[in-house]
Amino acid sequence: MAISSPDYDEKDFIAVGGADESMVSTTTRLHPARKKRRNRCVCISVAISTIVVVVAFSACLALFVNKKSGSTKKEEAAPSAMAFCAATTFKDECSQALNGSSAYNSSIPDWVSKLDPAVRYPVMLVLDSAGSLTNLVQIVDDFVAKYNRTSDGTVSLLLEAAVSCNESLHDSAQMLNETARLLAAGDVDEAMATLSSVRTWNTDCADDLYEVLYNISGGGVRGVVDNLTLSVNVTAAEAVKYAEYAAMQLSNALDVGGNVPSQEGQGWFEVLNRQLLARRALADTAAAIETKPDATVSRDGAGNFGSVQEAINQAPSMRKSKRYVIHVTSGVYKEKITVPRDKWLITLVGDGDATVLTYDSYAKRAGGTARSASVTVLGRGFIATKLKIMNTAEPQEVVQQAVALRISGGMGVAMAAVVDCTIVANQDTLYAHNGWQYYRHVRIYGTVDYIFGNAAAVFEDCELISKRQSGKDNTITAQGRTSKGEKTGFVFRHCKVDVEKDNLVPVSLGRPQPYRRVYFGRPWHPYALVVFMNCYIGNVQPEGWMPWYKGNKATNTEDCSFYEYSNTGPGADTSKRVSWSKKLAPAEAAKYTAERFIEAPTWLPRLGVSYRTD
């Protein structure tokens, strides 16, 4: 059945990771004017996600270490390196890492060399890929330094991608360092969430690089690699090589990580345990949001600051023990706002919908969807409450993606909460990028993919309002999970979905518009996970869900997880749903609560945010 699909945009991406051009998808777009990343499960993004499995297994093994020396338990025979690599996809690369002939492997730390081979081998694969990524970081740094003033069009395209990668890769390195400490502390849940964030950042980097290579090579990335006539292409080719190698080794680690047996008696972990960091940046936060603001923003001069950004800039950096509360009084604040990575525990409190944070940027003007956001949050432990956040860019062909709010985990898991707010835009309204995110009593308006990203996000008691446009369909979600190993996805509990009666006869650009079909969402990446449970469903199509289209071909439906449970309302009937969606049983639905899906008890109370326990 042909289904009218939303336009394509930057969330579309191609798969690159093999040794010849045949592995590069060259399918045409359904809507060339719109640029979401092509459907490429970029090997580096899939590869980084495997760290979740491998390192989590290593952490679990470490937690079972017998702290009393001289354990008498008989160890199981460990496999040889050759036998170990036989179970991997890329056997030659595996052997190179384990026999010391890899060009990317850095020196192995003492604690790794003391591990039993069954544990040491997967760790060495991860370290080998890390060495490759370290080289990639250096290439990107050198490229940015060399070409930052160029006027050459082709080089400028790569430079823009490289600058984005520079930010993403360096953030990832910091996050992995934090993850190592979290694992040493036995905090596996947060470590896994952090590693999912790492994967997302690296997906962004790889997508940016491959997008440019694809465009400047006329659709053949491999052609750029094979024809190194310009120094810019040498840089591009090296980036591809290191990314692909890291992907292969991390794929190998994924192949064998599940076979690691439990170990005991390795006292090296006791040493690591003495190097604990504070368990979370939020650990000492007060149990309730402070009512007295540390700063006040006002348009009439009555406050400490006249702009929101100025107040954020003056907040203390890396704050760990007390929230910094900024009261934004009523008024319209047209400014592009960023909460930087080093601004932790920031709370923005408004006066309800009378406090409007707005801007009108969009992807083509800003240099990408992420950069179009009116409000961007990178700092940890962020809270927004009683605000109206908007992107007022009009829905027209040149505008397309225009984000109102983007929340990303810089320097760790995002750990953000949005309560009693309204978020308004058209396409790509809310970018729930990564980390743990919680939304309560939030009204979200949009048109296409208006809640998207790869966070582990729970929405409770929210309202999702699909704005109509003539001749196009609404898709509420576009979730970006690329591996079953990632604990990410969107969960909507006790929400109202497209129930506004006034929206049935919409007005857009001053003119009445006909009825438009509404879908729960479409799978941005192959393993997208979205759950609607205990919600009141209004004007949703009987099919419920829409595929992701490449040209005219429906894709990403084989492995996506689109679930419904105990919903009510005229759109809740599941009898005509697409075959690749599922109605959950009670035991399955129990996994998708704030408590279990985003580990809410470990951090939301420390932000002073309550969540549903029913």
Instruction: Let me know: does 613 contact 596? Beta carbons within 8 Å.
Output: no
CA–CA distance, 446 with 427 (Å, rounded to integer): 6
CA–CA distance, 20 with 30 (Å, rounded to integer): 26
Active site (annotated) includes residue 449? yes
**Which residue, 15, 71, 18, 22, is CA-closest to 45?**
15
Strands (E), 276-336: 295-297, 324-328, 331-334
3-state SS, residue 582: strand
Cα three-residue angle 540-595-464, rounded to 5 degrees: 25
In the DSSP assignment, the letter for residue 300 is: T
CA–CA distance, 361 with 452 (Å, rounded to integer): 18
Q: One-letter amino acid identity for 461?
A: D
CA–CA distance, 59 with 64 (Å, rounded to integer): 9
Residues in the chain, how many?
A: 614
Instruction: Let me know: does 604 contact 438? Beta carbons within 8 Å.
Output: yes
CA–CA distance, 170 with 167 (Å, rounded to integer): 6
Handedness of CA 213, 407, 189, 267 (dihedral sign): positive
CA–CA distance, 111 with 55 (Å, rounded to integer): 14
**Which residue, 511, 517, 519, 514, is CA-closest to 470?**
514
CA–CA distance, 246 with 101 (Å, rounded to integer): 15
3-state SS, residue 456: strand
Longest dimension (CA), the chain: 80
CA–CA distance, 273 with 601 (Å, rounded to integer): 24
CA–CA distance, 402 with 369 (Å, rounded to integer): 7
Q: Say which of 171, 255, 428, 449 is annotated catalytic.
A: 449
CA–CA distance, 458 with 534 (Å, rounded to integer): 13
Instruction: Let me know: does 71 contact 116? Beta carbons within 8 Å.
Output: no
Active-site positions read: 449
